[in-house]
Amino acid sequence: MKRYIAADFGAGSGRVIVGTWLAASNEIQLEEIHRFENNQKMIDGHLRWDFNALFNELKTGLKKAFAKYGDEIESIGIDTWGVDYGLLDKDGKLISTPVCYRDDRTKGMLDLAFQKLPKEEFFQHAANQFMEINTAFQLLSSVTACKADTNIAYDDVIRAKKILFMPDLFNYFLTGKCYNEFTISSTSQLLNSLTHQWDDVIFDRLGLPKRLMQEIIYPGAVIGRLTDELAEEVGGNANVVAVGSHDTASAVASISDASDDWAFISSGTWSLMGTPTKEPIISQEAFDAAFTNEGMTDGRIRFLKNITGLWLIQQLVKEWEQEGYKCDYSELVKEAEQSTLSSYFDVDDACFMNPEKMSEAIISYLKERNEDIPVTKGDFMRCICISLAKKYAEVKAQMERCTNKKINKIYIVGGGSRNQLLNLLTAELTGCEVVKGEVEATAMGNILVQLEVSN
């Protein structure tokens, strides 16, 4: 029996899943072995990921998997959210805990970058949606701060010898091998969208240290086996395989559709909405509509837009639970179905990026525009579902204009696919057939790449 481990790190939680290949029925059976929270912490004045805790959770998952299945495990694949990274020093040690993309250190970096490399010219090179959270602007923030004040909070980039995006960093801790995987690299705004190589113009004009970048590898590459020490600790060994290490790349890999008229929404903390294309689209229309071109596991392009997603609901639930309420997502959806509220808001407005209280941010936004205010939890949920569906309809229309193709079907994958109200509203407002895909689409796509390698 062939079994594969998918370690999927989301911005809010993570899971270690074992996929078993059932040859007789030609299907993959998923089994969740370990689930854990992923919380950010303020350390040294910055919002950071607790990498050591996350790696310990990964090891716990591997221990459980090897204890149950032993030598039946063929390989391991890691995927995470995009843009964030860790820096290694000359001895291969992690210099500091990786900073979270929601940290405020990148404020003002877009304007600074465009002084050095005009926005439209920049897009012709990297062809990514311009967001302050992107790797290019995180690095620019560190380089700029170093020049102004070389203190401990910022001098990491000076001491660093290598940069590893989050999945690359986990792979390194597993195997001791340093690479930058293609799909995660394509989220950085440092990769040339046509050549798939690090772009000299971007590094030179922004004054960023290209010396940090590693060799780019593609999904399906075997990185190596677990180190001897780690194999002994977790009770087994297997190859670590480069998968679609950006979680959206793995999620899209779970969709099997040979037609050309479909789009996807990977619905998690972010809603990533796009469609596959053979080549990057770097037209003026794509630039004006703020689309991004990122890598797929088969080498094609995910032409997509990043949309604020279930983050809105996650923050509300966290807020309500802190107030003593126990929240159940399915019950919240039922309450939303009974609500008659029709107000909506722009989910991508900056005020929703990281507010102290999400409920107050939503109420303030709607009050300023004389819209009806949500009162019940069901009202809030309905308001968010309407707002997301309206944004999906807007992006779908933009996508059709940029790609010159009609989109008739939308696959919704990930945790958000379970929200039937959101699915119904999306179908209604986009005019598309909405197909509910895999809830664990990321793990499924991750394992599909591993399966191809072993076969």
Strands 3-9 and 13-22: antiparallel
Region of 431 (left: φ > 0; alpha: ψ -120 to 50; beta: rest) is left
Range of the domain at 280: 259-440
Q: Do both 199 and 272 map to the same domain?
A: no
381 within a domain of the structure (yes/no): yes
Question: Does 453 map to a domain?
Answer: no
User: What pLDDT shows up at residue 152?
Assistant: 44
Give me the sheet containing 239-241, strands edge to edge. Answer: 27-37, 13-22, 3-9, 73-79, 239-241, 222-225
Which of 181, 213, 245 lies at the terminal end of a domain, its last residue? 245
Same domain, residue pair 159 and 239:
yes
**Residues 297 and 196 reside in one and the same domain:** no
- pLDDT tens, per residue, the chain with 455 residues: 899 999 999 988 999 999 999 988 989 999 999 999 999 999 989 999 999 999 999 999 999 999 999 999 999 999 999 999 999 999 999 999 999 999 999 999 999 999 999 999 999 999 999 999 999 999 999 998 876 654 444 568 889 999 999 999 999 999 999 999 999 999 999 999 999 999 999 999 999 999 999 999 999 999 999 999 999 999 999 999 999 999 999 999 999 998 999 999 999 889 999 999 999 999 999 999 999 999 999 999 999 999 999 999 999 999 999 999 989 989 999 999 999 999 999 999 999 988 999 999 999 999 999 999 999 999 999 999 999 999 999 999 999 999 999 999 999 999 899 999 999 999 999 999 999 998 999 999 999 999 999 88
Question: In this structure, how many other beta carbons lie within 10 angstroms of the beta carbon of residue 42?
Answer: 10
Q: 285 and 371: one domain?
A: yes
Q: For residue 148, tell me if it sits in a domain.
A: yes
Q: Say how far apart CA 370 and CA 284 lie, in whole Å.
A: 35
Residue ending a domain, among 185, 217, 245, is 245
Residue type, 132: E
Which of residues 182, 216, 245 is at a domain's end? 245
* The pLDDT value given to residue 1: 87
Residues composing the chain: 455
434 and 326 assigned to the same domain: yes
Domain count of the chain?
2
In a shared domain, residues 267 and 375: yes
23 with 112, same domain: the answer is yes
In a domain, 387, yes or no: yes
Return the sign of the alpha-carbon dihedral for residues 309, 312, 314, 315.
Answer: positive
Q: Within this chain, do residues 426 and 357 fall inside the same structural domain, yes or no?
A: yes
Same-domain status, 203 and 109: yes
The answer to whether residue 296 is domain-embedded is yes
Residue 454 lies inside a defined structural domain of this protein: no
CATH code, 278: 3.30.420.40
CA triple 46-292-441, angle to 5 deg: 80
Residue 7's contacts (CB-CB under 8 Å, 6 or more residues apart) are: 14, 15, 16, 17, 58, 61, 76, 77, 78, 79, 170
Same domain, 298 and 239: no
Q: Which of these is catalytic: 84, 103, 199, 247?
A: 247
- Are 181 and 296 in a shared domain? no
- The answer to whether residues 305 and 358 belong to one domain is yes
Contact criterion met (CB below 8 Å) for 264 and 277: no
Token pair belonging to 376: 């019940």
pLDDT at 154: 54
Told to judge if 247 belongs to the known catalytic residues of this protein, a careful annotator would answer: yes
Q: Is residue 251 part of a domain?
A: no
Residue 91 belongs to a domain: yes
